[in-house]
Amino acid sequence: MKVFAIIVLIVGIGLIYFFLTPYLSPEKYSIRNEYEGTDRFQAVQGQGKSGQGDLKEAKKEEADKTAGEEEDAPFCDFRYIKDKGQKITIPRNAKAIRKEEKAGAPQQGWVWINIWAAWCKPCKKEIPLISNFIKNFDAREGALSLIYLSVDDDERELNKFISDSKIQAGSIFWLTDDETRTYWYRSVGLEYPVTLPVQIFLDSKSKVRCVRIGTVSERDLDSIVKMMQEG
């Protein structure tokens, strides 16, 4: 009986201590309250829905900033001043897809060489834009001709795409072997293989003035006209 009474007494003292301690030592239990009004506490609390919203907004602002920088980026990856670029022509052993065309034939005015392949999706996507631009190019801006230079390995795939797409504007040539491709790429300052598509612009003297690695978009077309005007 005495043992039971002692146990009850000990349990009772423990419960009293548990409930009264926060009131006897409040400073030990006020840490959360001290931080509730601070930026740090709000930042921690912000990891909920509102915090994710702030993070998304910050990412959006960063994306908008990056997009603006891309819009202001120069059109040419490599730009050569007048008479300083390498003089080049389409290799004479390049195969003409259309029988009436001849590789290495002299061109008048500026020349836009588009290096592409039928297996390259970005290449095929931009072809209608480029062809339409050439077809409607204002002659008052100067003479500009277009050459599609294929680096395909599969001739059947190349011919099928050309037949299906019915490319109207521009000449089409095919560099059939790696040796020719490597040599020709180096003549314009590139190492084979390179990411497709590639845009190369020659002036009226057949000298390289601009090399762009990548596709062109609608907004890039004004940059091309401006480049030609500047001479």
* Per-residue pLDDT, 165: 85
Give pLDDT, residue 144: 94
The predicted model scores a pTM of 0.68
Query: Mean pLDDT, to the nearest integer, of 209-229?
Result: 95
Select the more confidently predicted residue: 219 or 4.
219
Each residue's pLDDT tens digit, 46-78:
333 333 344 344 434 544 444 444 455 799 999
- Tell me what pLDDT residue 192 has: 86
All domains of the chain in start order, with CATH: 2-71 (no CATH), 78-230 (3.40.30.10)
Highest mean pLDDT among 59-63, 71-75, 113-117, 169-173 belongs to 113-117
- What's the confidence (pLDDT) of residue 133? 95
- The pLDDT value recorded for residue 72 is 58
Residue/partner pairs of 128-132 with CB below 8 Å, 24 or more apart: 129/216, 129/217, 129/218, 130/169, 130/170, 130/216, 131/167, 131/168, 131/169, 131/170, 132/169
